[in-house]
Amino acid sequence: MRWLIPCAIALTALSGVAGLLPARRARLGELLAVGLVVLGAALGLAGSVVGFVASDALRIDLPWSLPGARLLVRVDALSSMFLAPLFFVSAAGAVYGLSYWPVREHPRDARGVRLYYGLTVAGLATVLCAANAVLFLVGWEVMALGAFMLVGTEHERAEVRGASLVYLVSTRAGTLCLFGFFGLLYAITGSLDFDLGAVAGRASATELHGLFVLALCGFGLKAGLMPLHVWLPGAHANAPSHVSALMSGVLLKMGVYGLVRTTAFFPTPPLWWGAALVGCGVVSGILGVAFALGQHDLKRLLAYHSVENIGIIALGLGLALVGRSLGAPALVGLGLAGALLHVWNHGLFKALLFLAAGAVVHATGTREIDALGGLGKRMPKTALAFLVGSVAICGLPPLNGFVSELLVYLGLFEAAASPDAPAWLVGALGAPALALIGALAVACFVKVYGVVFLGEPRSAKVDKAHEVDKLMTGPMAALGAACALIGLAPALVMPALARAAHTWAPELADEVGPVASLAWLSLANGLLLGLVLVAAAWLAWRARAAATVRDVPTWDCGYAAPTPRMQYTASSFAATLVGFFAFALRPSRFRPELVGPFPQRGTLFTSLPDVVLGRLILPAFALIGPLLARLRKLTQGSVHTYLLYMLVAVVAALLVWR
Amino acid sequence: MHYLVHVLLVLALPPLLLGIANRVKALFAGRRGPPVLQLYFDLAKLARKSTVQSRTTSFVFRAGPVVALATTACAAMLVPLGAHKAPLSFGGDLVFFAYLFALGRFFTVAAALDTGSAFEGMGGAREVTFGALAEPALFFGLLVLTRLGGAVRFAVVLGPGLADHWVEAAPSLVLVAVSLFVVLLSETCRVPFDDPNTHLELTMIHEVMVLDHGGPALGMILYGAAMKLFVLGAVVVGVALPASSGNAWLDWLLFLGGMLGCTVLVGVVESIMARLKLVAVPKLLVTACLLSAVGLVLLVR
Amino acid sequence: MSALASPLLVVVLLINLFLLGTSRVRAAITGAAAQGVLLGVLALVIDDALSGSHIAVAAGAIVLKGIAFPALLARAIRDLAVRREIEPLIGLVPSLLLGAIGTAASLLFASSLPLAPAHEGSLVVPGALATVFTGFMLLTTRRKAITQVVGYLVLENGLFIMGLGLLEAMPFLVEVGILLDLFVGIFVMGIIINHMRREFGSIDTERLTSLRE
Amino acid sequence: MVLAALILVPLGLALVALLWPVARQRPWLLPLGGVAHLVLSIVAVAGRPEQLTPWLGLDPIARLLLVAVSVLFLATSLYTPGYLALKPGRDQRVFTACLLALLGMISAILAAQHLGLMWVALEACTLTTAPLLYFHRNARSLEALWKYLLVGSVGIAIAFLGTLFLAYSALHAGLKPSLVLSDLVGDAPRLSRPWLHSGFVLLFIGYGTKMGLAPMHTWKPDAYGEASGLVGTLLAGGVSSAAFLAILRFHKILVAAGDGAFGRQIMLVAGLLSIAVAAAFMARLRDFKRLLAYSSVEHMGILVLGVGIGGGATLGAMLHLVNNALVKGVLFLAAGNIHRVYGSKRAAAPEGLTPTPHEGERGEAADEADRPPPSATSPALASSVPVSGLLRRLPWSGALLLLGFLAVTGSPPFGTFVSELTIVRGAFATGHGAAGVAFLGLLFVVFVGMGSTVLAMAQGPAPSTVPAERRDTLLTIAPVVALLACVLGLGLYLPAGLQTAFAEAAAWLEGP
């Protein structure tokens, strides 16, 4: 029992080795590798269930000879909260990968993909059950580097190389922040273990500020909080889709987990921590979805939605922190439960969306939204999966996204009703922001779904697309079913949430959030579905009663010869909304010059590069690089100069230190 | 018993409201106008008609009207009519209510895009754009109401306590009522946001999205739109007219009176105002948002 | 401490200035040789008692520093037909001035260090520092590789002076090792100069700047 | 006896190598020497020999380093026959002999307890390296050699002056001047402070030159850039580490004198300066061998910084000493393989960190790194292609380079991670928070600089112009894999013996 999770980690870590069978036996190796991942995931899921009910049964505490290290494995409800989606999504992704990235189609890198996939999953699981900083960081980096190798799978393409370098640099920046964080924590507590008790009492104000800033940067970089999200769109867009699903669905959440876990060390955090997190959440949420609106690349668009959803999670977590600072358990419970449930939900629906997007890419060979269209008829299962994912990610009832957003909303309304100025400000800022985020998400996903799956195909390749096979639709079905289950019966997951929240803030009562109203929500959802059924049945009955003519073109206000090219494009659809946010998004337009009565053929092209990366970080690099290069003038090859440096060093050192 | 009345009113009354609004407009224009019950006749006729569907469309096209109507009907079950409780009430029903409309919008716009027509795409784009701006305005209003009421449910915020709050926080509530009314006009696609009477595709929002629908589906759309007006009107009336007479049946009459007033107001606005230019629409919605926000600030000051 | 030591050290310092001021390579080599011989003599007179190690060190210094190295270097320039150091990097007069300033600074620095009773008032420490500085100056300002080697030699001479005060701290074996290292070092440098001539046709170190960022 | 054997056996083998008649067999003397040395080292370390003479003995740090250098040399020596087989026509006789002599000299530095002897051995190291650096016999290596020799010799001379100052500090205190370490440590409290301090400064700069600390590091890129990978390995992992040990021995005297803070302050500043200089010079550096040289400068800075911070960071520095020595082997040997196959030391242009015209307006900002450096114009390299696509073209060497890069930058779970984390938390725990933050920031700059170049090499399409017959061989890969495994092992598990060895080393340095 104790070794359930470590066994799962070992199985997944070694799964890729099984995949290294010689080319003749590649398919067997592939099946073996995926089988191991699935087996490991099953053990892991079992372990995470145990973690909810009997955390102590999974505790492992062994000495480890490295300085400061201990093999301290602890699976409490908080870990389980993150472990469960990890294992679920990774198993789904692994099965999907069998058909999406087989050795037969990718002889050069499919084995590597499977190897790194297993390692990444193992790293993720290690992060989640480590209760010692050294173990945590080992898991952290295995995860990050495994994902790096996965992102760089198709490194022959320059775009992929760029994305993987940006990812590597970003993840290292985060890891270094964590070095600092744990170093500082060690300086305060004298230990690198997570069983710290209250840190706050022993730390000075400056140290507390430092700790939070380091944690926010380190974990925020991984989570992709705006403006630390720079690596995210490129990495998600360029990785194989099941990897994108794993990264977006689970890997980002490690940043959230880190924040949740480490803030739990502080029973009364400074108020500004929560406020800062809420601020980050609002910015990430709104700008994330705004960026998503302007994207042409299906997977980049989904990636920006991850930024948005992480923003929602940060909003909930920030609310919980504010609640803890102010001693308001209602805020803590609702905020945290909302954030944690959204971790599950986002893991499920974003993985679903990425898998569906991957199916589209697999079938059509393009990620360009404006080249797609009409896939709903050609890939009905994929289209349905994407529709479910879209409705869920927009936070619309009756699916799961709504439940977590509802919890956050309830917390925000609660905060807004508080007499404390910081609390009601958080509520007054958060609730409308969340509403705006939701509405923009609807706009964005209607756009994607409409342009990709509805209407007519915009290119010949798309026209010939076929539905993907069962290995790919199966995982999508499983994820979609999970979305629906949580949406329709949210009360089922409340005990788990309550335990996790209780682990985070022991002062909370055993029950967080309005379980009763969630039961009512199920009823309301049932009513909604019933009404939909009734209306649909009526319409079907009427359609049968009166003849329906189907074989006609779209009316199009009487235009006789509409072509697919005349359809509304994704860019046009989002143009007005993107225009509203132009101050932050800085979209660029390439407008053809039309001159004369018979102008040349021209193409309007808009693009929405990442502002933080494109306008801030890369220019900064471009600025600093030559500055540093200028320093090189100091070593122009003359040995005289070098000797002079030594003389200067001797004289200066003797003058300074004697 | 009263729940039954609630359901009956929700099902039967909406088309009448549109008839009244049209009659008001006709009066303002000095015309006689169509009969007040015209929409009932239209719906009956549409339900019997056959349909023409483009070969481009899929099941999503038919799901649009279905979901739009179902979400509105579901929302109607959440809103207390006057002093009477709603059949369905739970913590967070306000949020559920708001998101139901978003769900309806999602499928309406998806259905529009399913036709592959540039016109309907354009309409869809406008719909989601203005919807995105109306949402924060609605939530600012809800914030004010929940802060006054102390819980996130219609039963509380529009409950008996509201009358007392009118005494102490009248300015905030006035602002919120106005803001909600603006949201109502926007959500139901009335002037000054949209003109339900015009058929000039390029300037329309809602009408242009449903160009390809016909027959029973179009009937569902029209019925759903009317019901939406009814539901949102009930919310506005609930905020603006929190009076309770003590007698249950008298309360129903009071509510109907309120609805009549609200509908007449819609008609009046429609008669005395011109449709806004599309670029000016966001400004009005932001104004509504600010009104509620000011209401909130007044409350916590 | 013998009375002869200080005058000898003054001569050493004068040779330093001469080395900084001369533009002829051969003169520089001769100066270094003279300095080497002087150091050998200095080893004999530095302590009142004369021990075996003193004699051995003196002999080693005279043979290596006074004869072997200069001969090696002289051979190199004969092969190369190098006569003059072209204008040093900072000019002869400035380098002389800098040398004088350096000598003064060395005196100042040495006076800030507390001296052992035996060296009270002697020029051993300042002389050593000034000579090291002179070596450094030659190394950093002279273009010809060969003059740089002379500079290195002078620098080592400075160390030698310093070491004279501490003869008893250095076991004989270590002393031999040091001289051997020095010998091999100069020898290797000589070989490199030879290769350089073959490779570049010159021993001007200004040419050796292709390795850089 | 064992200690003497550690020095004399390699020297004897060097002599044998000079005389051995069969060229094809000669390189195999190296693994022989490596094995013998490793066995002797283990005997020496395990047996804890009594200090036979006051001159020779192993202090705890030397114990650690001896084994590390021995392992490093063994790996290098196994690599060498494979390497030399690919370089026919070169003077293998002197090369082999010098490699063995270098091993003997490094052992001598490690075992020397007399500071004069240590100096002699270090200088001898410099001289033995000269023929190794001139192995390729071209103008560039000659230039590198000249700089190496001149800068190194002058540095060593300064160190000698410092040694004399130290002896003088005893003389001034009225003690019998001695350069035996244990005498000096014992008399430390009575030594004359001004002489001690000035002496330490001089020693630090002198031996710091051999270590390659900024600003005395200038020889390093040139020498490492022109040296073959295996010579770079021994210089970066062996000689530099030994020079660090030399400094630590003087620091030990300072600590014993109760003046540890003085030394630490210097080391703190010098460490940060070295890391900063290395970081600055690594930015956009495409010549990967010079890049590795700057990485060596950086890591010497980290070692010095660790000791400079003191407290728990000292243990980190000790760990890093061993880890860095091993990981340098991985990097230099892998780089050697790559250089040999591609015939180029220049990495392809990295993607991703320069704004494209679409992604900002600075697209056309002059990228100075894009201008070919003077080296590219030399005829030997003019025709060579920039290195890219290693993972496709040279999967083993490419993967080793990538992993070595990750290891050298302190990625968990490599040993370097443990050491760097220990240094960081030591910094915070001893109140050097600013130094800790600066350290982390500089590590990031280093990572960006090094990462963009290494990635540009590892990734991308394989160039078609590289001759197909050049590929990785077992002998040029297996030793490197073994070294990498050592580094990885040190990051996962420290055997009890090693654990105490590290603790003892730190305690020796910090303790009375």
Query: Does chain C touch chain B (at least 3 C-beta pairs within 8 Å)?
Result: no
How much of chain D is helix, strand and coil, in % rounded to 5?
75, 0, 20
Q: Where are the alpha helices (DSSP H) in chain B?
A: 2-12, 14-29, 38-48, 59-76, 93-114, 118-149, 154-157, 161-168, 170-187, 206-209, 215-240, 248-272, 281-300
DSSP string, A501-519: HHHH-TTS-S--S-HHHHH
User: D116: which chain C residues are within 8 Å (Cβ-Cβ)?
Assistant: 169-171, 174, 177-178
**Higher pLDDT residue, C192 or D295?**
D295
Check if C130 contacts D (Cβ < 8 Å): no
Structure confidence at residue A135 (pLDDT): 95
Q: Which helix (H) or strand (E) holds C41?
A: helix C25-45
Instruction: Check: CB of residue A641 under 8 Å from CB of residue D296.
Output: no
Check if D217 contacts C (Cβ < 8 Å): no
Residue at C78: amino acid letter: R
The total of other beta-carbon atoms located within 10 Å of residue A232's CB is: 31
Q: Strand A605-607 and strand A60-63: pairing?
A: unpaired
Instruction: Check: CB of residue B299 under 8 Å from CB of residue B144.
Output: yes
pLDDT tens by residue, A138-164? 999 999 999 999 999 999 999 999 999
pLDDT tens by residue, D210-219? 999 989 999 9
Is D225 within 8 Å of C145 when comparing Cβ atoms? no
Interacting residues of B209 by C-beta distance below 8 A, sequence separation 6+: B108, B109, B111, B112, B120, B123, B124, B127
Q: Torsion over CA of D386, D389, D392 and D393, rounded to 10 degrees?
A: 0
Residue at A165: amino acid letter: L
Q: How far apart are CA D49 and CA D36, in angstroms?
A: 18
Of C140, C148, C211, the CB nearest to A637: C211
Q: How far apart are CA B202 and CA D72, in angstroms?
A: 77
> How many domains does chain D divide into?
1
DSSP-assigned letter for residue A109: T
pLDDT tens by residue, A204-235? 888 899 999 999 999 999 999 988 999 999 99
Q: Quick check: is D371 in a domain?
A: no
Tell how far CA A251 is from the center of its chain. Answer: 7
What's the token pair of residue C42? 């200095």
Check if A655 contacts C (Cβ < 8 Å): no
Of A636, A637, A643, the CB nearest to C140: A643
Spatial CA neighbour of D71 closest among D329, D335, D245: D329
Is A551 within 8 Å of B55 when comparing Cβ atoms? yes
Structure confidence at residue D370 (pLDDT): 42
User: CA angle, corner B66, sides to B64 and B69, nearest 5?
Assistant: 105
Q: Quick check: is D204 in a domain?
A: yes
Q: How far apart are CA C116 and CA C124, in angstroms?
A: 11
Is D362 within 8 Å of A622 when comparing Cβ atoms? yes
How far B295 CA lies from chain A's nearest CA (Å)? 11
The sign of the torsion formed by the CA atoms of A582, A586, A590, A593 equals positive
Check if C136 contacts D (Cβ < 8 Å): yes
Q: In C, residues 138-157, which contact D (CB 8 Å cutoff)? A: 139, 145, 148, 152, 155-156
Instruction: Check: CB of residue D491 under 8 Å from CB of residue D414.
Output: yes
Residues of chain B predicted below pLDDT 70: 198-203
Structure confidence at residue D364 (pLDDT): 34
Strands (E), D280-348: none
Structure confidence at residue D374 (pLDDT): 44
What's the token pair of residue D407? 């290891």
Q: Which helix (H) or strand (E) holds A539?
A: helix A515-545
Structure confidence at residue D92 (pLDDT): 85
Q: Which helix (H) or strand (E) holds D374?
A: none
DSSP-assigned letter for residue C68: I
Q: Quick check: is D348 in a domain?
A: yes
Q: Torsion over CA of D184, D189, D194 and D195, rounded to 10 degrees?
A: -10
Is A409 within 8 Å of B53 when comparing Cβ atoms? no
Q: How far apart are CA C33 and CA C62, in angstroms?
A: 9
Q: How far apart are CA D74 and CA A620, in angstroms?
A: 45
Q: State chain A's mean pLDDT as an integer.
A: 90
User: A190: which chain D residues are within 8 Å (Cβ-Cβ)?
Assistant: 429
Check if A647 contacts C (Cβ < 8 Å): yes
pLDDT tens by residue, B190-224? 888 887 776 666 667 888 888 888 889 999 999 99
Statement: residue A56 has pLDDT above 60: yes
Residues present in chain B in total: 301
DSSP string, A162-183: HHHHHHHHHHHHHHHHHHHHHH
Instruction: Check: CB of residue A338 under 8 Å from CB of residue A405.
Output: yes
Structure confidence at residue D365 (pLDDT): 35
Instruction: Check: CB of residue D234 under 8 Å from CB of residue D401.
Output: no
Check if D444 contacts A (Cβ < 8 Å): yes
Q: How far apart are CA D83 and CA D71, in angstroms?
A: 18
For tokens 């009118």, the residue is B166
Best residue of A633, A643, A647, A651 to probe chain C, by most C CBs closer than 10 Å = A643
What's the token pair of residue A457? 């195909």
Stretch D364-392: mean pLDDT:
54
Structure confidence at residue D367 (pLDDT): 39
Q: In C, residues 187-206, which contact D (CB 8 Å cutoff)? A: 188-189, 192, 195-196, 199-200, 205
Q: Quick check: is D200 in a domain?
A: yes
Range of the domain at C176: 5-200
Is B60 within 8 Å of A376 when comparing Cβ atoms? yes
Task: Report the DSSP beta bridge partners of residue A548.
Answer: B51
For tokens 């078609």, the residue is D464
Is A66 within 8 Å of D283 when comparing Cβ atoms? no
Q: Which helix (H) or strand (E) holds D141?
A: helix D139-172
Task: Report the DSSP beta bridge partners of residue A72.
Answer: A61
Cis peptide before A6 (omega within 30 of 0): no
Statement: residue A251 has pLDDT above 90: yes
Q: What are phi and psi of C170, to 5 degrees?
A: -95, 115
> How many domains does chain C divide into?
1
Nearest chain A Cα to C88, which residue? A640
How much of chain C is helix, strand and coil, in % rounded to 5?
75, 0, 20
Tell how far CA B71 is from the center of its chain. Answer: 12
Share of chain D above pLDDT 90, in %: 62
Q: Quick check: is D261 in a domain?
A: yes
Statement: residue A25 has pLDDT above 90: no
Statement: residue D362 has pLDDT above 80: no
Nearest chain A Cα to B147, which residue? A417
Structure confidence at residue D372 (pLDDT): 42
Instruction: Check: CB of residue D179 under 8 Å from CB of residue D114.
Output: yes
Of D114, D144, D171, the CB nearest to C211: D144
Q: State chain D's mean pLDDT as an integer.
A: 88
Q: In C, residues 138-167, which contact A (CB 8 Å cutoff)? A: 139-141, 148
Q: How far apart are CA B277 and CA D195, in angstroms?
A: 88
Q: Check residue D460 and give left, alpha or beta (phi > 0: left; psi -120 to 50: alpha).
A: left
* Burial annotation A93-130 (CB, 10 A radius, 16+ → b, else e): bbbbbbbbbbbeebeebbbbbbbbbbbbbbbbbbbbbb
* Burial annotation D71-85 (CB, 10 A radius, 16+ → b, else e): bbbbbbbbbbbbbbe
Tell how far CA C172 is from the center of its chain. Answer: 22
Residue at A563: amino acid letter: T
Instruction: Please provide the distance, in angstroms rounded to a whole number, between the alpha carbons at the two ends of chain C.
Output: 52
The sign of the torsion formed by the CA atoms of D61, D62, D66, D72 equals positive
Q: Quick check: is D421 in a domain?
A: yes
* Burial annotation D157-184 (CB, 10 A radius, 16+ → b, else e): bbbbbbbbbbbbbbbbbebebbbbbebb
Residue at D295: amino acid letter: S
Q: What are phi and psi of D384, to 5 degrees?
A: -75, 150
* Burial annotation D330-352 (CB, 10 A radius, 16+ → b, else e): bbbbbbbbbbbbbbbbbbbbbbb
* Burial annotation A178-190 (CB, 10 A radius, 16+ → b, else e): bbbbbbbbbbbbe
The sign of the torsion formed by the CA atoms of D326, D328, D330, D336 equals negative
What's the token pair of residue A511? 């029950």
Q: Quick check: is C102 in a domain?
A: yes
The total of other beta-carbon atoms located within 10 Å of residue B35's CB is: 12
Spatial CA neighbour of D348 closest among D280, D284, D409: D284
Task: Report the DSSP beta bridge partners of residue A590.
Answer: A605
**Higher pLDDT residue, D170 or D406?**
D406
C93 exposure class (CB count in 10 Å sphere: 0-12, 13-18, 19+): exposed
**Higher pLDDT residue, B17 or C168?**
B17
DSSP string, A131-162: -BHHHHHHHHHHHHHHHHHHHGGGTTSHHHHH
Chains that touch B (3 or more CB pairs under 8 A): A
Nearest chain D Cα to A624, which residue? D283
User: CA angle, corner A176, sides to D411 and A7, nearest 5?
Assistant: 50
Nearest chain B Cα to A513, which residue? B91
Is C145 within 8 Å of D194 when comparing Cβ atoms? no
Structure confidence at residue A588 (pLDDT): 82
Is A450 within 8 Å of B110 when comparing Cβ atoms? yes
Q: Where are the alpha helices (DSSP H) in A204-270?
A: 205-223, 232-238, 241-246, 252-263
Q: Quick check: is D105 in a domain?
A: yes
Q: Quick check: is D320 in a domain?
A: yes
pLDDT tens by residue, C7-53? 899 999 999 999 998 888 889 999 999 999 999 998 888 777 777 77
Confidence of residue C74 (pLDDT cuts 50, 70, 90): confident
Q: In D, residues 88-107, which contact C (CB 8 Å cutoff)? A: none
Chains C–D, number of C-beta pairs less than 8 Å apart? 136
Tell how far CA B191 is from the center of its chain. Answer: 13
Q: In Å, how far are A342, B141, B234, B262, C51 from B74, measured between CA atoms?
A: 25, 21, 14, 22, 113
What's the token pair of residue D251? 């620091």
